[in-house]
Amino acid sequence: MAKAADRAKNPARSSVWLETNKRSRAARGGSGPAGLDRDRIVVTSIRMLDEEGLAKLSMRRLATELNVTAMSLYWYVDTKDDIIEYALDSCYGEVDLAAVLAADGWRERVRVLALEYRRMLVRHPWMSAVAGQYLNVGPHAIAVGGEIHKAIRDSGLPVSRTPSATSAVFQFVYGYGTIEGQFSRVAQQAGMSQDDFYTDSIAAFREEDQFTGTLEEMSEVLDERLSHGSVDEIWDRDFDYALDVLIAGIEVMVERGRAEAAAERGAQG
């Protein structure tokens, strides 16, 4: 089996999706416990992660939830890392790629991908903490990444600039979805709606004398945001406008690149 120590020696090749790990499981032979399979393990893991977070997930607790012995899990996975990788990729499978393909033009494809990615992060707040810890080379993650690449490529940016533009858009989405998901979880843990939690938080902030000077500069913005009466509306409005800004920025850079290329051709002619 792929021990954690072995993975640490070669992190660039440490993934449940790479061939070495597949051979490890295939070599065991036989069949696993009746009524248990990898899909069931992954579905249960995602539910536990959504409800309780990463800290509570363990092979023992997962086995208890599945009503099997902990050793039964090792027919299908080598480590808890394997389970998290499978869970990550399964969540990427929630991205509606059919809706992406049906979108008209690269701008709308980027918007659909960004919204789908954001929703995925909000549904599964634990994802943000682990997405960068794994290679994310599962089939669903690769499919989503491929559509992101094609959408940005079709903007007209040169190959050397598409990774930067991709980062600008989707690192923004990652951060936005992370904050939104964590805010929702904190409100839920407090036994409050997002709207009540937000209103009470702002009120507490405003009642503190130490923040009086800062609030003089921020009061107009705070009043405007509180006037909406819905945190969900604020999330959506800010996200849509910020995404428009980023897409407009890509358009500007495409035009700038074309102008620079034309100027260079003119100078050479």
d(CA 3, CA 268): 59
Residue 175 makes CB contacts below 8 A (sequence gap 6+) with none
| pLDDT < 70 stretches in the chain | 1-13, 19-34, 229, 269
Single pTM value for the model: 0.88
Cα distance between the two ends of the chain: 64
* 190-228 per-position pLDDT tens digit: 999 999 999 998 888 888 888 888 788 888 888 888 887
Would you mind telling me the total number of residues written for the chain in this entry? Answer: 269
What pLDDT score does 219 carry?
86
Whether domain 29-92 has CATH 1.10.10.60: yes
Give pLDDT, residue 261.
Answer: 86
For the chain, the domains span 29-92, 97-256
Question: In CATH, what class is 97-256?
Answer: mainly alpha
Contact at 8 Å (CB) between 133 and 85?
A: no
Nearest to 107 by CA among 256, 251, 254: 251
- What's the DSSP call for residue 125? T
What gap in Å lies between CA 176 and CA 121, rounded to an integer? 9
Please name which of 250, 242, 255 lies closest in space to residue 164, comparing C-alpha atoms. Answer: 250
110 neighbors 56 (Cβ within 8 angstroms): no
